[in-house]
């Protein structure tokens, strides 16, 4: 239930700042921050001001500002195939971000933490930009098949949680963990305390693709997730033609 009085109050406080920074914030965006901060207008205002500074005023992750993050700044991450936005949405219209944990190699020579962080933002922004006007959340599917210790990255996990809670609050509507191996139970025991109860309740373990299909029908998912959709990830579609 939307508290219209608090929404109006937050809108009135933030309008001059958002206009100054040329940022468009819908009532849905304002509501996301209010929900994330239990409808505390003061806390939501501080969080949005932090977001504005993060996006517009501070150098971030090896680029001048967040808005300058494009495919050309995340080339190696795109080529890796570790994450992408699917062409279909969930039945509720949520864009689907798919991540393959086995393709994340934080200990590999040449791994660039800043580029990896830019890639998280790039992927989130692509999903957000694809949303229908009545949709404000995404579905994240994390494929944990063949996960090894070489793929476990607590620093990355902390950065991801920071971005999803402080920068993109209430953007994640559903998170599906596919084929989690026994190894992941150790990682999960460390990660879970970092998540609030609301976020924890959005996360579901799927042992098989059939479990996944209970949330997203198989005809909407590609073969990489055990689905029947013919789509195949093509990095070059994001990078453009090779010169």
Q: Would you place residue 241 in the very low, low, confident or very high pLDDT band (cuts 50, 70, 90)?
A: low
pLDDT score of 1: 78
Give the Cα separation of 176 and 73 in Å (integer): 28
Residue 56 pLDDT greater than 90, yes or no: no
For the chain, percent of residues with pLDDT exceeding 70: 98
Residue 186 pLDDT greater than 70, yes or no: yes
Mean pLDDT of 200-214: 97
On average, the pLDDT of the chain sits at: 94
pLDDT score of 243: 46
- In this structure, the dihedral spanned by the alpha carbons of residues 15, 18, 19 and 20, taken in order and rounded to 10 degrees, is 120
Residue 242 pLDDT greater than 70, yes or no: no
Distances (CA, A) of 231 to 107, 124, 220: 31, 20, 9
pLDDT score of 60: 77
How many CB atoms are closer than 10 A to CB 208? 10
Give the Cα separation of 68 and 86 in Å (integer): 23
Residue 76 CA neighbour count, 13 Å, CB half: 14
φ, ψ of residue 131 to 5 degrees: the values are -70, 145
pLDDT score of 166: 93
Residue 219 pLDDT greater than 60, yes or no: yes
């Amino acid at each position: 239930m939307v508290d219209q009085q608090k929404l109006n109050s937050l809108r009135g406080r933030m309008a001059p700042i958002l206009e100054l920074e040329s940022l468009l914030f819908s009532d849905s965006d304002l509501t996301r921050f209010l929900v994330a901060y239990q409808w505390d207008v003061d806390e939501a205002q501080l969080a949005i001001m932090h977001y504005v500074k993060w996006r517009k005023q501070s150098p971030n992750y090896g680029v001048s500002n967040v808005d300058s993050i494009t495919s050309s700044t995340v080339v190696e991450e795109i080529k890796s195939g570790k994450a992408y936005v699917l062409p279909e949405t969930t039945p509720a219209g949520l864009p689907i971000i798919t991540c393959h944990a086995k393709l994340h190699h934080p200990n590999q020579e040449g791994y660039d933490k800043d580029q990896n962080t830019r890639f998280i933002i790039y992927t989130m922004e692509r999903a957000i930009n694809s949303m229908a006007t009545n949709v404000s959340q995404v579905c994240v599917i994390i494929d944990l098949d063949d996960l090894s210790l070489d793929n476990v990255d607590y620093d990355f996990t902390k950065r991801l949680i920071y971005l999803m809670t402080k920068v993109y609050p209430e953007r994640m509507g559903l998170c599906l963990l596919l084929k989690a191996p026994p190894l992941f139970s150790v990682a999960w025991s460390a990660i879970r305390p970092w998540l609030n109860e609301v976020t924890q309740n959005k996360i579901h373990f799927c042992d098989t693709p059939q479990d996944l299909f209970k949330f997203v029908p198989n005809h909407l998912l590609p073969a990489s997730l055990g689905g029947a959709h013919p789509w195949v990830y093509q990095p070059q579609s994001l990078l453009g033609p090779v010169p």
